[in-house]
Amino acid sequence: MQSGLRIFPEQASTIAEKVDPLYLFLVGLTVFFTLLIGFLVIFFSIKYRRRSDSERPAAIHGALSLEILWTVIPLGIVLVIFFWSAKVFFMISRPPDDAMQVYVTGKQWMWKIQHKEGPREINELHVPLGQSVKLTMTSEDVIHSFYVPAFRIKMDVLPRRYTTTWFKATKPGVYHLFCAEYCGTKHSGMIGQIIVMQPADFQNWLSGGADSSTLAEKGQKLFQDLACTNCHHTDSSGRGPVLTGIFGKTMQLTSGEKVKVDEVFLRESIVNPGAKVVAGYEAIMPTFQGLVTEEQLLALIEYIKSTGQQQEPGQTAPAKKGTVKQASAK
């Protein structure tokens, strides 16, 4: 691939463009103070060396201006670092609303990728250039970590839980995917490729897949096969809540708590239905723990999402954006 010594991996995502300047700033700052302090240590030890055995330095009784100076300057520097990194952190932790959804399942020792449109991949992820991609990730066994150096993203992939990250590729090409969390014997072999394609090529690639049913369609079939429809009707006559259009809604629980219906809540409600019961319903649903795989869970969730999504006014995305602005306003 590249020849010669590279200090940085390629810069191939919008996140990389934000992370690198911050990182360089931190390195530059560290180098500057290392040199400055090193120089002063040597300079002062020569300049103020003891010249005779009887020499005694004058006593110092404090220097207020000096103390203010060495408090205010570092404070200013660390505040710059804080606001700057908080801004980058918010950017990394909030996938844009228009992001394309991709599901990732980690397993000893491979990455399984599921596209919403149907295609599945192993140790490869094809994505279009210039499109935000949101990854919803989980693990079938132990903790893994999804790491793409060229995109400057790294996120732990945990069993029984969903984590998310996102990226927007800015350069076509093939980039390394690593597992960055020691996960057993073949951890170092748990690698793959992210293939960034021109949008038109990506569309061709998508439609070229052998499996033509979308993830939501797979989920719908599973929903019927597992007899979920026995209790979850499309009207309120069922023994379980209506799931049509439930994604994004806020539900009242029997405990009095309120919870927003997202991937995490849906997953928990399938594998551990007693944990959070929607008010007005009884805790009669059996657990599907062990009966459905992580990939089937993703299909079920995608199916429920596909029946409609609610955006609650002033409560979801817009509210979050406000927070970002406040945080980055400094």
Site of interaction with ligand CUA (CB under 6 A): 106, 109, 144, 179, 181-183, 187, 190
For 227, the token pair is 């007899």
Residue 248 gets which letter from DSSP? T
For 202, the token pair is 């990506």
Smallest distance from ligand CUA to CB 156, Å = 10
Smallest distance from ligand CUA to CB 144, Å = 3
CB closer to ligand CUA out of 70 and 182: 182
For 2, the token pair is 């590249």
Phi, psi of 11 (to 5 degrees): -105, 105
- Alpha carbons 263 and 267: distance in angstroms, whole number: 6
CB closer to ligand CUA out of 122 and 291: 122
Smallest distance from ligand CUA to CB 22, Å = 27
CB closer to ligand CUA out of 179 and 243: 179
Instruction: Report CA 136 to chain centroid distance, whole Å.
Output: 8
- Alpha carbons 23 and 25: distance in angstroms, whole number: 5
CB closer to ligand CUA out of 154 and 260: 154
CB closer to ligand CUA out of 186 and 239: 186
Smallest distance from ligand CUA to CB 108, Å = 7
CB closer to ligand CUA out of 176 and 260: 176
Please say whether the beta carbons of 12 and 175 come within 8 A.
Answer: yes
Smallest distance from ligand CUA to CB 190, Å = 4
Strand pairing of 124-128 and 192-197? parallel
- Using a 10 angstrom Cβ sphere, with 0-12 exposed, 13-18 middle and 19 or more buried, the burial of residue 201 is middle
CB closer to ligand CUA out of 159 and 274: 159
Smallest distance from ligand CUA to CB 138, Å = 13
- Alpha carbons 142 and 140: distance in angstroms, whole number: 7
Smallest distance from ligand CUA to CB 183, Å = 3
Instruction: Tell me the C-alpha to C-alpha distance, in Å, between residue 261 and each of 41, 42, 116, 118, 311.
Output: 59, 62, 19, 24, 11
- Alpha carbons 154 and 192: distance in angstroms, whole number: 14
- Alpha carbons 85 and 78: distance in angstroms, whole number: 10
Smallest distance from ligand CUA to CB 106, Å = 6
Strand pairing of 250-252 and 192-197? unpaired
CB closer to ligand CUA out of 121 and 302: 121
For 82, the token pair is 């804080």
